[in-house]
Structure 1
Amino acid sequence: MASIDAETKAVEKINDTSATSAPVSDSENGASSPEIMAASDIYIDPVEEKKALRKFDMIVLPQAFIFILLNYLDRSNIGNAKVFGFATDLNLKGNQFGNISTLFYVPYILLETPWVMAVKYYGPNKVLAVALICWSIVTISTGFIHTYGQAVAVRMLLGVCEAGVAPGFAFIFSTIWDRKDTAKRVALIYFANVMSGAFGGLFAYGIQSMGARRGIAAWRWLFIIEGAVSLFVCGGCWFSFPNSPENAWFLNAREKEIMALRKRRDVAYKGDDEFSWKWAKLACTDPFIYAASLSFFCSSVAIFGFGTFLPTIIKGLGFNDLQANYLTIPVYMLGGLNLCVCAYFSDKTQNRGIFLFTMPIPVIVGYIIAAASPVPGVGYFGMFICCCGIYTFNALILTWVTINLQPDYKRSVGVPFFVSLGNLSGLVASQLYPSSQAPRYVMGNAVSAGMETLAVIIVVGAWWILRRRNQLKEKLIAEGVTDNGLEGDMALDFKYAI
């Protein structure tokens, strides 16, 4: 709110001077006048541009989907492992399983921003490949642990390796596609999350049916096999993932030229390649990011609990271990379908607010049903309703933040900073389903419903911040002002997507 007041005062100050006051110097706005003028004169054939971007859709998106799918699969499989022996074999007591899940988020939260800044500085194919290979090795190692302390150690190492994956891909997508087409691509991150739940349940069902082999328990095989698959698949990232849009190996010479021209044309939105700490400062002091993060935090309490404990929740509704794993599959499939539909129409209509305001409603209803009804079938139905909105809201709010930050360096700090603040919810969510609350876990479901309610209230406040900023800019433009003396997305020529 203080920032909004400051902006209002800035408007008043400008109004006191001439509406045609001199613009700020080139050194202040981060780009030289020749660059700006050159960018405004650039013309790119839309047919050729669309053809080049289609190659990214065909080559980059499938790889990104596989990487993110395996990332979430190797993270959430601990929930599947729990229902067939993980906690018993490690002799976990009290809420030690919840502690294992909680401590994963400590390094995960701390390292998200450094990982994404490294992606911007060194390129995605180098940075993400290191992360992907390392987390695969840690996942395999989890199949050989025997104590609570070892479980804590491997989960914290997993948090170190996986910290930059989701925000890193959100940032990468924003450097390739335009703002109006971003939601469908960022939704891929959460679609992979949903599908990891479905495939995770299916894979866990197969491993559980297999039973112990060669003296190794089924839950251990779950980590070993999934980690090995990730290591094999992700090893190709070194060679197949492009390091920058304008130098992608699958583009021909003309298409590379087009992507380079797009970079020059979009310099006002994406910025140049010269890093400045001022962008980090602006990202970390933007009240919009804090408001959106608080909403993301509340909704993520529900989503982390859902993803980690869904098999446990279903088992608590009265189903056996085997059923608890395969019954997660149709729940996730419905959630994935709803996510794709909403992401498509969010981009098509360019209306973000209506989806952000409505998607928490099925989450709230679903959790209330699960908390209130002792009937297994009714509680299971509640999980279907819940999944219709739980991933969609998080995907769209991440998109919303990503497309409303400029330039790239502010985005490379602001997006993971936003995600890090939201992921603090992992420290809370992992404590919501202690074994003492079995079988119905009323507390966890009720708290998740309450937090989702707060999420929709707070997102309205974040929406108001952007709406107010747009109104102030429109007022200045109507009065003939050509420069408000601010930079990045706060500059006069940037309109926030609401």
Structure 2
Amino acid sequence: MPQMALLVLLGYLDRTNIGNARVFGFEEDTGMRGTDFNNISMYFYIPYVLFETPWVIAVKTWGPGRVLALAVVAWSAITIGTGFVHSYGQTIAVRVMLGFFEAGLFPALTFTISQIYPARSQAKRVAVLYITIALSGALGGLFAYGIQSMGSRHGLSAWRWLFIVEGVISLVLGLVCWVSLPASPETAWFLNEEEKRIVMRIKERNHPYKETASLDVSQVAMALKDPFLYLASAALFCSSIALFGFGTFLPTLLRGMGYTALEANYLSIPVYIFASISTAITTFVSDRLSKRAVCLIHTPLLGICGYAIVVGTGHKAAGFFAMFLAGAGIYPFNTVLVTWVSNNTQPDSKRSIVIALLISLANASGLASSQIYPSYDAPRYVKGNAISLAGEAVALLCVGLLYALLKYRMREKKRLLDESKESNGKQGDRSLRFQYVF
């Protein structure tokens, strides 16, 4: 998990630092105007969405070790290159390449967690990934504050050093991961033989369906026909509009509230830290009680309250407080929802496709979130905040529909079991013996 967290930290630092760079001259130096900045954020998500599933299939086939290490080395080099762009076209090119190499990171790690840990222990592991995303925002703000204080050096602007230094750090750590990240738990260098046998017994006990290295086409069809996938994707899509908008534009929103560029960078730090604490508490409770749905109710409500405040008032202090509420709701929701879907999807080939498609479809929201905060809506960005509020509301509705769907399936299974039926002709999570996690 520390190595997984490190990969996520590197990925999201290299992805979202563009928001920090924006507040100290990135747009002006590359000749961007109007909605150009929004567009380069959007272009990132096109390859990001298209190539998530192929990356997960590669990880399933060859293991997460060298597949993800190759990705991090490549995107680190691209991040360094971003520090030397001089035009809008060059910026688009590096963002598209960055989207391609970062595409499989999160769904691949989520799938890996689902293969190793039992259902009731997965939320806190997925939470490590989402907490790392939030902390990357805090660290990114702190790092940007330090780089901005440093100013121009050797003829390069501060924003250029932001990309170069972060890219070099990612490159070095990515090379370390190439050596240290195992292909599977059974081959992990940090486990002794007894611990490896324990891992195998845990996997066999909690994942009774036979795993295959290759992709089972029949299970892919099972995944594509399951309405559970599309309802969950709708919920994650709507909540991710707020998540991606928050991660990319928080410094912009804070500056629009009346804070200076320097203040916008360092004031984002406590917001992300609070979001991390909220995620940790929510997922701990969710795992401890083995409850998912109930933890998916209060989190969008926090987001709705936060965005309602910034839509309703332009008060500086109230807006800053609202960002704490929004962050405290956005990150836990996505964590628990992804875990809930993973818990309720079997066998492994179906789960690999469902997780990849779930996150791919949800990440398509990046195309929308990149456009909801255009510069001409400054300073309050009412439209973007209202869209994020609506997304949280629809996500909450989808949770209710998901709960109703799983309850309906459990009633049907119980009815057939009461009739002494041995089978309903279905496999995996749709079979009679599988018990859904609520």
Query: Could you tell me the TM-score, scaled by structure 1's length?
Result: 0.86
Larger radius of gyration: 1
Partner SS, residue 433 of structure 2: coil
The AA in structure 2 aligned to 1:331 is V
Corresponding residue to 1:492 among 420, 427, 432: 432
Distance 1:373 1:269 in 2: 54
Matched, 1:291 2:231: yes
Matched, 1:408 2:354: no
Distance 2:181 2:210 in 1: 21
Structure 1 counterpart of 2:161: 221
1:359-438 superposed matches below 5 A: 359-438=299-378
Partner SS, residue 318 of structure 1: coil
1:60-459 superposed matches below 5 A: 61-269=1-209, 271-459=211-399
Q: Give deviations 1:69-94, integer Å, cap 9, x for gaps.
A: 11111100000000000001111111
Moved more, 302-311 or 277-286: 277-286
Instruction: Give yes or no for contact 1:270–1:406 (8 Å, CA) kept in 2.
Output: no
Q: In 2 relative to 1, CA 370–471 (structure 1 residues): closer, same or farther, beyond 3 Å?
A: same
Q: Give deviations 1:287-344, integer Å, cap 9, x for gaps.
A: 0000000011111111111110000000000011000100000111111001000000
Distance 2:6 2:312 in 1: 37
Distance 2:198 2:313 in 1: 58
Instruction: Give yes or no for contact 2:209–2:346 (8 Å, CA) kept in 1.
Output: yes
Q: Give deviations 1:256-285, integer Å, cap 9, x for gaps.
A: 233333444445246344531111121122
Q: In 2 relative to 1, CA 478–271 (structure 1 residues): closer, same or farther, beyond 3 Å?
A: farther
Distance 1:156 1:473 in 2: 46
Partner SS, residue 405 of structure 1: coil
Distance 2:119 2:202 in 1: 13
Partner SS, residue 327 of structure 1: helix
Distance 1:243 1:187 in 2: 22
Distance 2:278 2:205 in 1: 35
Q: Give deviations 1:336-376, integer Å, cap 9, x for gaps.
A: 00100000000000111111111101101101111221111
The AA in structure 2 aligned to 1:479 is E
Q: What are the ranges of 5 or more consecutive residues in structure 2 without an aligned counterpart?
A: none
Distance 2:159 2:142 in 1: 14
The AA in structure 2 aligned to 1:301 is I
The AA in structure 2 aligned to 1:93 is R
Q: Over aligned residue pairs, what C-alpha RMSD do you find?
A: 1.2
Q: In 2 relative to 1, CA 301–267 (structure 1 residues): closer, same or farther, beyond 3 Å?
A: closer
Distance 2:369 2:202 in 1: 42
Q: In 2 relative to 1, CA 334–266 (structure 1 residues): closer, same or farther, beyond 3 Å?
A: closer
Distance 2:209 2:75 in 1: 34
Q: What are the ranges of 5 or more consecutive residues in structure 1 without an aligned counterpart?
A: 1-60
Distance 1:260 1:354 in 2: 32
Q: Give deviations 1:423-468, integer Å, cap 9, x for gaps.
A: 1111111001111001111111111111111110112111211111
Q: State the shift of 1:482 in Å.
A: 2.0
Moved more, 296-305 or 238-247: 238-247
Q: State the shift of 1:248 in Å.
A: 1.6
Moved more, 304-313 or 485-494: 485-494
Instruction: Give yes or no for contact 1:484–1:491 (8 Å, CA) kept in 2.
Output: yes
Distance 1:182 1:119 in 2: 19
Partner SS, residue 235 of structure 1: helix
Q: State the shift of 1:244 in Å.
A: 1.2
Partner SS, residue 208 of structure 2: helix
Q: Percent identity?
A: 49
Q: In 2 relative to 1, CA 286–209 (structure 1 residues): closer, same or farther, beyond 3 Å?
A: same
Partner SS, residue 493 of structure 1: coil
Partner SS, residue 21 of structure 2: helix
Query: Could you tell me the TM-score, scaled by structure 2's length?
Result: 0.98
Distance 2:307 2:389 in 1: 5
Q: Give deviations 1:66-117, integer Å, cap 9, x for gaps.
A: 1101111110000000000000111111101000000100000000111011
The AA in structure 2 aligned to 1:212 is S
Corresponding residue to 1:480 among 390, 401, 420: 420
Partner SS, residue 294 of structure 2: helix
